[in-house]
Structure 1
Amino acid sequence: MSEHIQLTGTVPASCNGKRLDQALAELFPDYSRSRLKTWITDGCVRIDGEPVDKPREKVIAGMELEVNAELVEEKRFSAQPMPLDIIYEDDAILVINKPAGLVVHPGAGTPDGTLLNALLHHFPAIDQVPRAGIIHRLDKDTTGLMVVAKTIPAQTHLVSAMQEREITREYEAVCNGPMTAGGHVDEPIGRHPTKRTHMAVVAMGKPAVTHYRVVERFRNHTHLRLRLETGRTHQIRVHMAHLRHPLVGDLTYGGRPRPPQDANPELLEYLRSFRRQALHAARLSLHHPVTGEWMSWDAPTPADFLKLVKLLRADRNDHAKE
């Protein structure tokens, strides 16, 4: 299936001398720059009735622009009935509390059973939106809040807001080692030079900034609240490992069990059996893509995370009495 798109507009004075793709982006903000560029190179755009295929073509105020294109659906994925913990929903967006173990998008080794498959079942029309409206991801074993766009205009707005750092994402985490104070990490992240499935702090990586503060200290662990400025793959996990405070349960980045000395058997066993990174996307805040209203949501901390904190707190308190 595909949808025919027909758009017309006059180049405004503010776009005089600009590139064609820039002018189209200003005239038709419901569509992403990359999509508009594709339509130009595919010959779907005319200037004053003449076809053009170069995105860098300069335009002059008063020129008439016309787009005739097909909005082709991307690769088809199957809709699957799966439970979704929906925190908020309207005609433009969905906010979901993702559980641990749920993969966001089909890929190698996970052809289905993902959040995307569940979204297609919950709202079939979302198959007209690239990536079923998913604009950011959480790792398989990270819990918490994600926003999903239900329309192309909402997706275009939210992707831009994400790029402009206008969406606030706050996390809770438990890391190994006692941290004395909060701070921030401003280190670029890119693909690990030898472990291709891992990310790492590398000189030629993309800019990445993570802010963190201490919520509670334990004998050999720290409960943190973190805020992302950027959204690189595995960003919090990589940055905390870079500080030599990897997240509890994150075996990929060095978060093997590090129990405090003389820990009780229950804590020892729980740390050994905690097989996911102790990371939860706790709060999400953004301007609504249609109304502009500033909205914020909080996701309850999952039970396994709460039990981890409870056991670490009990261990600290027990040893403080000695």
Structure 2
Amino acid sequence: MAEQISLSAEVPFELGGKRLDQILAQLFPDYSRSRIKTWILDDMVQINGETLNIPREKLMGGEQVKIEAQIEEQREYEAQNIPLNIVYEDDDILVVNKPVGLVVHPGAGNPDGTLLNALLYRYPEIKNVPRAGIVHRLDKDTSGLMVVAKTIPAQTYLVANLQARVNFTREYEAICIGTMTGGGMVDEPISRHPTKRTHMAVVLDGKPAVTHFRVAEKYRAHTRLRLRLETGRTHQIRVHMAHLGHSLIGDLVYSGRPRPPKKATTELSDVLKTFKRQALHAVMLTLEHPITGEIMSWDAPIPDDMVKLTLALREDTKLNPQKDF
């Protein structure tokens, strides 16, 4: 069944001159702007007793607003007892260190066994929050930090900050193929690949995507990077690095199987042959707490497989000082 929502308020005169959708977003901050816009377009908003379905319509102030809407009940997902590595938790948010192999949300090919199923088991009340409070995602084979909102107000606030690129910072560690000379920025739009529908690609009319990166350590034929996302497109780091010609080690989608450089040590050859996922880890998360306003930050240790890869690359570089590819 759908949940019935009834809201009413008087538009403050200081908001006069603003658009309807902007005013409603301020009057009812527990609901996202996209949800409010949908209500407007679906004739669920009345101003002084008359339906107004134009989000950009400006109000003068003093009008009476009434919203009679419905929130469709979310699809029922199974609660499953899946272990979670909880880094931080309070009444409003929790931060998890997602392991490699854990899918974030059920979908085609992954109907259960996901982070969402685990959240429903550990926090049954989170079923009332859209997407079980998930604010942003990591690919199945990317490890690291994610924030989850326990309440609708917390989720609305965090999503707004994420979209506005305000007080929400995500940094990653990655190891790419090839030696990079220095850091920089990739500002290239991303969308679905024109022919490979499961892939993303740099596409002229895609959505804006910005990735900042700096060199953390150089090896003989590889580079360890620290990256910061300004936007959050699907596969963004993986696509942007492939676009630069420096695909991530282990990224079978965008680079193929990793090949050892010439004269590689036996250890490095073995590690590269058995490295089954993209070398990408969400190492740092900083955000403004949605209720207290406190700026909070967390770090996640580099996982063992990437530590082992790094040590093998260092040893190979030491034993092969000349860049013999």
The structural deviation recorded for 1:52 is 4.3
What one-letter code is carried by the residue in structure 1 that aligns with 2:124? P
Partner in structure 2 of residue 21 of structure 1: 21
For residue 54 of structure 1, report the CA deviation from its aligned partner.
4.5
Give the C-alpha shift of residue 148 in structure 1. Answer: 0.9
1:98 matched to which residue of 2? 98
- 2:165 and 2:256 map into 1 onto residues whose CA distance is 29
Q: More displaced, 50-59 or 299-308?
A: 50-59
Corresponding residue of 1:246: 247
TM, length-normalised to structure 1: 0.94
Amino acid at match of 1:181: G
Q: CA deviation at 1:40?
A: 3.2
Q: How does 1:22-101 map to 2 (within 5 A)?
A: 22-101=22-101
Give yes or no for contact 2:17–2:58 (8 Å, CA) kept in 1: yes
Q: Distance in 1 between matches of 2:9 and 2:307?
A: 55
Which residue in 2 is equivalent to 1:165?
165
- 1:304 matched to 2:305? The reply is yes
C-alpha displacement of 1:261: 1.5
Higher mean displacement: 182-191 or 44-53: 44-53
Q: Hey, what does 2:131 align to over in structure 1? A: 131
Structure 2 partner of 1:189: 190
Could you tell me the TM-score, scaled by structure 2's length? 0.94
Structure 2 match to 1:284:
285
How far is 1:314 from its partner? 1.0
Contact 2:220/2:321 (8 A) holds in 1: no
Q: Percent identity?
A: 65
SS in structure 1 of the partner of residue 144 of structure 2? strand
SS at match of 1:223: strand
Any conservation in 1 of the 2:250–2:275 contact (CA below 8 Å)?
Answer: yes
Post-superposition CA distance 1:99-127 (Å, at most 9, x none): 00001111111101111111111111111
Structure 1 residues 202 and 70, CA, compared in 2 at 3 Å: closer, same or farther? Answer: closer
Secondary structure class of the residue paired with 1:29: coil
Which letter maps to 1:211? Answer: H
Is residue 100–residue 143 contact of structure 2 (8 Å, CA) maintained in 1? yes
Q: Deviation at 1:2?
A: 4.9
- Give me the whole-angstrom Cα distance separating, in 2, the residues matched to 1:99 and 1:59: 49
In structure 2, the residue matched to 1:11 is 11
Partner of 2:294: 293
**2:207 maps to 1:178:** no
Aligned partners of 2:94 and 2:147 also within 8 Å: yes
Describe the shift of the 1:271–1:14 C-alpha distance in structure 2 as closer, same or farther (beyond 3 A). Answer: same
Q: Does 1:122 align with 2:111?
A: no
For residues 17 and 170 of structure 2, what CA distance do their matches in structure 1 show?
38
- Gaps of at least 5 residues in structure 1 are none
Deviation at 1:168, TM superposition (A): 0.5
1:193-204 matches, within 5 Å, as 193-204=194-205
Count of residue pairs the alignment pairs up: 321
Counterpart check, 1:264 vs 2:271 = no
What SS class does the counterpart of residue 277 from structure 2 fall into?
coil
Unaligned runs of 5+ in 2: none
Cα shift at 1:42: 4.2
RMSD of aligned C-alpha atoms?
Answer: 1.7
Partners of 1:197 and 1:176 lie apart in 2 by 23
**Which letter does structure 2 place at the counterpart of 1:26?**
Q
Q: CA deviation at 1:141?
A: 0.1
Measure how far apart 1:3 and its partner are: 4.2
Q: Please list the CA deviations of residues 50-98 of structure 1 after superposition, one character each: whole Å capped at 9, or x if unmatched.
A: 4444444543311111223343322111111110101111111111100
Do the aligned partners of 2:46 and 2:52 also contact (CA within 8 Å) in 1?
yes
Please tell me whether the aligned partners of residues 176 and 255 of structure 1 are also in contact (alpha carbons under 8 angstroms).
no
Q: Structure 1, residues 169-226: CA drift from partner, whole Å, max 9, x if none?
A: 0000000111111111111111111111111111111111111111111111111111
Partners of 1:21 and 1:204 in 2: CA distance: 27
Amino acid at match of 1:260: P
Change in 2 beyond 3 A, CA 1:211/1:57: closer
> What SS does the aligned partner of 2:247 have?
coil
Could you tell me which amino acid in structure 1 is paired with residue 12 of structure 2?
P
Q: Is the 8 A contact 1:73 1:130 kept in 2?
A: no
For the residue of structure 2 that corresponds to 1:211, the secondary structure is strand
* Aligned-partner Cα distance in 2 for 1:57–1:183: 42
1:206 is aligned to 207
Instruction: Measure how far apart 1:149 and its partner are.
Output: 1.0
The offset of 1:255, in angstroms, is 4.6
Question: Quick one: distance in 2 between partners of 1:181 and 1:56?
Answer: 45
What is the DSSP-based 3-state SS (H/G/I as helix, E as strand, rest coil) of the residue aligned with 2:320? helix
